[in-house]
Amino acid sequence: MSNWFSIEKIDKITYALSEYKHSEIPHSYLLIGNEKALLIDSGLGVSNIREEVEKLTDLEVIVLSTHIHWDHVGGHKLFDKYYVHENEKNWMTEKPFFTLECIKQNLVRGANEFPKDFVLDDYEIFKKEPERILKDEDIIDLGDRKIKVIHTPGHSPGHICLYDIKNKYIFTGDLVYRGTLYAFFPTSNPVDFKNSLEKIKDLDVKRVFPGHNSLDLSPSIIPRAYEAFKDIEEKGMLKHGSGLFDYDEFRILL
């Protein structure tokens, strides 16, 4: 299968690299500065995302993920440097959150066909020491383009959003998107999830770029998601095991 990635030009220095041929529909994002480029999330790892990135920039590329779940770090192995939030460093170096068997099952379940050069039996979990450990409010300077790290736990303990200060873009990973928001994992925290949405809901945002599904999002989805979590909290149900809550653009699974 050719053209596994769909490339969308957001502006002249920002691209979305999407995997629409898998049910997860993960999006990775390439942000280009004057001196370096940043790849936010690296997808499933079934096709060579580095080759696609090198068609778009010849700058040094740093890779990081909004969080260290399997569908966001699959291509990390192809890059020399990666950054990770301090709360999930051990998932990349010691004990991955998902087992290899679970990842392979999810890969197969989500696609009818893979690229011809992808061999499921050769798939490995990436383990390597990071170049940099990230903390809340760190700045990643790409050269005339500064990206702010916002620690937004809830979906996972080290989940981060990335805020492009100059362009007022926010890359939200699995904190908010159109679809089911997952806060049911043992390492998820529904209250933290709500607090993280509160943390970013008043940011000056022109565009929202999620980790999955539709790229056509209004910035108003962030405060709407916050109000939904707040509504669940007021019902006394913001806790694991409360079930599935349906709101117009998204659902929340606790």
For 197-239, write each residue's pLDDT tens digit: 999 999 999 999 999 999 999 999 999 999 999 999 999 999 9
Give the amino acid at 73: V
Residues with Cβ within 8 Å of 12's Cβ and at least 6 positions away in sequence, in order, are none
Q: For residue 60, list its beta bridge partners.
A: 36
Residue (of 7, 9, 10, 3) closest to 18 by Cα position: 7
Give the amino acid at 221: I
Q: What is the pLDDT of residue 127?
A: 85
> Maximum distance among all alpha carbons in the chain?
52
For 152-172, write each residue's pLDDT tens digit: 999 999 999 999 999 999 999
- Sorting pLDDT into bands at 50, 70 and 90, what band is 128? confident
Complete DSSP assignment for the chain: ----SEEEEEETTEEEEE-TTSTT-BEEEEEE-SSEEEEE----SSS-HHHHHHTT--SEEEEE-SS--GGGSTTGGGSSEEEEEGGGHHHHHT--SS-HHHHHHHHHHH-S---TT--GGG--------SEEE-TT-EEE-SS-EEEEEE--SSSTT-EEEEETTTTEEEEETSS-SEEEE--STT--HHHHHHHHHHHTTS--SEEEESBS-S---TTHHHHHHHHHHHHHHTT--STT--EEE-SSEEEE-
Residue 240 has pLDDT above 80, yes or no: yes
Q: What is the pLDDT of residue 2?
A: 60
Residue 1 has pLDDT above 80, yes or no: no
Q: What is the pLDDT of residue 227?
A: 98
Compute the Cα dihedral for 216, 158, 54, 103 and give only its sign: negative
- Does residue 219 contact residue 206 with C-beta atoms inside 8 Å? yes
Residue 95 has pLDDT above 80, yes or no: no
**Percent of the chain scored above 90 by pLDDT?**
89
For 34-93, write each residue's pLDDT tens digit: 999 999 999 999 999 999 999 999 999 999 999 999 999 999 999 988 999 999 998 888
For 174-201, write each residue's pLDDT tens digit: 999 999 999 999 999 999 999 999 999 9
Q: What is the pLDDT of residue 91?
A: 85
What's the mean pLDDT in 7-26?
Answer: 97
Q: How far is C-alpha 16 from the geometric centre of its chain's CA atoms?
A: 12
Domains of the chain in start order, with CATH, are: 6-178+204-217 (3.60.15.10)
